[in-house]
Structure 1
């Protein structure tokens, strides 16, 4: 059977690349160190395939026909999409895909949410995939990527328990349906608190962010699901903070366990709280 080699999550705010220099040096060091550890963990864990769970910013589907989860099935993943280049300011990248792995995972979860799709062509990637791929230098590792883009904004949004259940199914599929010896890494991409385009666009809810990170460090997943609900995320920043549902997918795949906080920064100029964690696997 295959194995989950590493499980992590991190913010993907466009400010981390497009407006990185606006932050104090100490905060820049925090972000660099967190993403450096993510890259090192991928290499040291001998990960073959990295499943990146991230939100879609309404770039790949119409609002009137919006999937809850979209698996990227392309042979090669290329980004960033042209429209997002001016404000992301990241170099072009091209990363191998694993459509065979993506198809197994898709088939395993396609009936667990109302709208799950698999897309054979290259998806439009903005900061959701481009920031973690760039900051963790994934292209230089040779690790293949399977993108899983999720709906965090268009009602009805799959809530925390739907996302956790989907993560459980992904974990089962990795262990029971993928080839023996394959090592699959998990990375939740999104959050922390932010409200893009809303009245609190320039605000970061640092109290919520630190509470969320402390919850995850404790490792009590039932408490996370009971208290860190979609509604609680919306109160911390409507239309943005719920990107943390991608972290909950990872949590479902690995089961209750503590994690380590890799660092936190609240930089107003980035328009989003930054945080990263790594879960302790056996």
Structure 2
């Protein structure tokens, strides 16, 4: 049994509102190195912690955690379409194990997933179907949120399960770091937007394009004085990364929702996927972790980071 972990920021704005070519090349090099490491590791199973951005989960039923036995990409922005190669038997067994460990998790036998799930899978494997995968969606954009100690406990239950598989397991966490795109809040939105947040599945191509264009337009001014969104916070991002790679994941129990939103932006809660990934890794025995890359990239509305860990 061996384990490899990769946690990456994602951004649907790659190729749509890029920073300088030198930064694009820098990120492409980091991603190519990460993918090469994944290919050399040749995982037998991928456990993928990811958020959703009101594409598969809505307020008509918004669980804190969902494990999918079947997942289909909505292909938003430039993400790949198609089904993921979900390992159904492992997904069902993992769901049972999580529930038996006193963590409540929902099960979806037909889940739609967006770039938050598929972009990192594509970047690390070149496709959505190369390796068997178990997707676990953690609510990261739709308040109210469960406390961070629950994220840690979810990850620990997953890691305990994975440690018994006797397989090469790749753990992926996708999302974050500090960022705040124009994601509406239910209690502050007009009725039309509220209806979308409650039951907005399968929008028309025109509606999806309009929504995506709003994000692109925000990215063009993000970080400037005329932008009202919370700016990127390099100091917060690097401190968070250090907490994880130095093996202090239990410290997230002291994180508060309000403080993270204020310091790093409302969508920074996507770091929940990183917390779950490192908590899972901690159950696989000792590990070596490192920061591969970090840069605050306004054009992508992303504190963009890549971190890795491998079982020792």
Other-structure match for 2:13: 15
Which structure's CA Rg is the greater one? 2
How far off is 1:162 after superposition?
0.6
Q: Deviations over 1:139-161 (max 9, x none)?
A: 28821221111112333312221
Coordinate RMSD, CA, aligned: 2.4
1:274 aligns with 2:304: yes
* Contiguous gaps of at least 5 residues in structure 1: none
CA contact 1:265–1:274 (8 Å) conserved in 2: yes
1:205 aligns with 2:203: no
Looking at structure 1, the residues matched to 290 and 148 of structure 2 have their Cα atoms a distance apart, in angstroms, of 21
Corresponding residue SS for 2:266: coil
User: Which one of 38, 44, 55 corresponds to residue 42 of structure 1?
Assistant: 38
CA contact 1:16–1:131 (8 Å) conserved in 2: no
Corresponding residue SS for 2:163: helix
User: Which one of 93, 96, 99 corresponds to residue 88 of structure 2?
Assistant: 99
Other-structure match for 2:272: 245
Other-structure match for 1:192: 177
CA contact 1:169–1:253 (8 Å) conserved in 2: yes
The number of aligned residues is 265
Q: 1:214 to 1:92 in 2, by over 3 A?
A: same
**TM-score (ref. length: structure 2):** 0.76
**TM-score (ref. length: structure 1):** 0.84
1:90 aligns with 2:79: yes
CA contact 2:38–2:125 (8 Å) conserved in 1: no
Corresponding residue SS for 1:275: strand
Looking at structure 1, the residues matched to 300 and 249 of structure 2 have their Cα atoms a distance apart, in angstroms, of 29
CA contact 1:216–1:224 (8 Å) conserved in 2: no
Q: Judge which range, 9-18 or 29-38, deviates more.
A: 29-38
Q: Judge which range, 182-191 or 30-39, deviates more.
A: 30-39
1:171 aligns with 2:154: no
Q: 1:101 to 1:78 in 2, by over 3 A?
A: same
1:152 aligns with 2:140: yes
